[in-house]
Chains A and B, each alone.
Chain A
Amino acid sequence: MSDNIKSAKALTGATGFLGSHLMASLLSNGYSIVILGRSTKDERLHERIFRLLHWFGIESLVNQITCVEADLTKDNLGIEDEEYSRLCSIVDSVIHCASDTSFAESKREKVMAANIGGLKGILEFSKHANIDIFHYISTAYAAGTGETYCREVPSIAKTFTNVYEESKAGAEKIISLFCEKNSIKLSIIRPSIVYGDSRTGRSIKFNALYFPVHSMQSIKDIYLKDLNINGGKKASIHGIHIDKDGYLFLPLKIYLHGKGSINLIPVDYFVNAALKIIENCPKSGIFNLTTNSPTTFETLAEYNEQFMKVRGVVIGYGKPSDNTLRNPAEELFDRFIVPYRPYLADNRRFDRTNTDLATDNLNPPEFTYEIFKTCMEYAIGVNWGASIFTIK
Chain B
Amino acid sequence: MNGILKTAKNCRHYAMCKIDFLGSGVCASGLEKHFVSYYPQGRMILYEALAENKIPVTEKCVEIADSCNLCGKCDYQCYFLNEMRPVTVMEALKKHVEDYIKNGGKIKIAKEDSLLTEIRNIVGFNWATNDEAITATYSHDLSAISNPKFPDYVVLPITKEEIASLVKLFNRNKIKYTIRGNGQNLLGFAINDGAIIDLNRMKTIEFDEKNWLVKVGPGITAFDLQKQAQKRGYRINAAEPAALLCANIMCSGIMSTFSTTYGINADNFINAEFVDNKGDLFNLNEVSSPNLFSYKNLQHKDSPGICVSADIRLHPVTDDECGILVPFETLDNALDFIKDCSVRHIGLALGVVGAEYISTFLSPTKKMASEIKSIFVEKLNIPWLVVFIGDKYAIRAINEMGFPYFDQNLFNSLYLGLPSLKSAQWLDLIKELSDDEPYSYLKLKSFQELLETALSPSPKLYSQEVDPALRPFFEKLFSRPEMTDLVWLNMYRIMSSRLGRKKPFLPSLIYLPIDKTLINEFSDKFRLIAEKYQIENDFGFITPIDSGKRCIFEYDFFYDYNDPDSIQRIRQVATEANMLIDDYSVKTGTVKGHPYVLYQGFCRKENLLYS
Contacts and interface: CB of A to CB of B under 8 A. Distances in A.
B436 A338 contact: yes
B611 to A, nearest CB: 43
Interface stretch (A211-219, A253-261, A354-362): A211-219
B441 interface: yes
A254 B607 CA distance: 63
B435 interface: yes
Interface residues of B, number: 22
B126 interface: no
What is the predominant secondary structure among interface residues of chain B facing chain A?
helix
Interface string B411-429: 0000000000000011011
Contacts of A106: 435-438
A105 interface: yes
Interface string A263-301: 000000000000000000000000000000000000000
A66 interface: no
A368 interface: no
A226 B436 contact: no
B211 interface: no
B432 A207 contact: yes
A335 B440 contact: yes
A234 interface: yes
Interface stretch (A117-125, A168-176, A325-333): A325-333
B576 interface: no
B456 A229 contact: yes
Interface stretch (B178-186, B319-327, B446-454): B446-454
Contacts of B317: none
B413 to A, nearest CB: 12
Contact of B426 (A221, A229, A386): A221
Contacts of B449: 234, 328
B445 interface: yes
A223 interface: yes
Nearest to A162: B436
A353 interface: no
Contacts of B432: 207, 211
A230 interface: yes
B441 A218 contact: no
Contact of A336 (B433, B436, B452): B433
Contacts of B453: 222-223, 225-226, 234-235, 328
Contacts of B109: none
A214 B427 CA distance: 11
B115 interface: no
A311 B83 CA distance: 46
Given A331-B445, A335-B440, A104 B428 contact: no
Contact of A339 (B428, B435, B447, B454): B435
Contacts of A211: 429, 432
B106 to A, nearest CB: 62
Contacts of B437: 106
A107 interface: yes
B461 to A, nearest CB: 10
Contact of B436 (A104, A218, A221, A222): A104
Nearest to A237: B449
Contacts of B428: 214, 218, 384, 386
Contact of A225 (B436, B441, B445, B454): B454
Contacts of B456: 225-226, 229-230
A153 B454 CA distance: 49
Contacts of A215: 429
B298 interface: no
Interface string A48-89: 000000000000000000000000000000000000000000
B425 A335 contact: no
28 contacts: A103-B435, A104-B436, A106-B437, A106-B438, A211-B429, A214-B428, A218-B426, A218-B428, A219-B426, A221-B426, A222-B450, A223-B453, A229-B456, A230-B456, A328-B447, A328-B453, A329-B450, A331-B446, A332-B441, A332-B444, A335-B433, A335-B441, A335-B444, A339-B435, A339-B436, A383-B425, A384-B428, A386-B428
Leading 8 A-B pairs by shortest Cβ distance: A328-B446, A218-B426, A104-B436, A234-B453, A104-B435, A222-B454, A328-B450, A331-B446
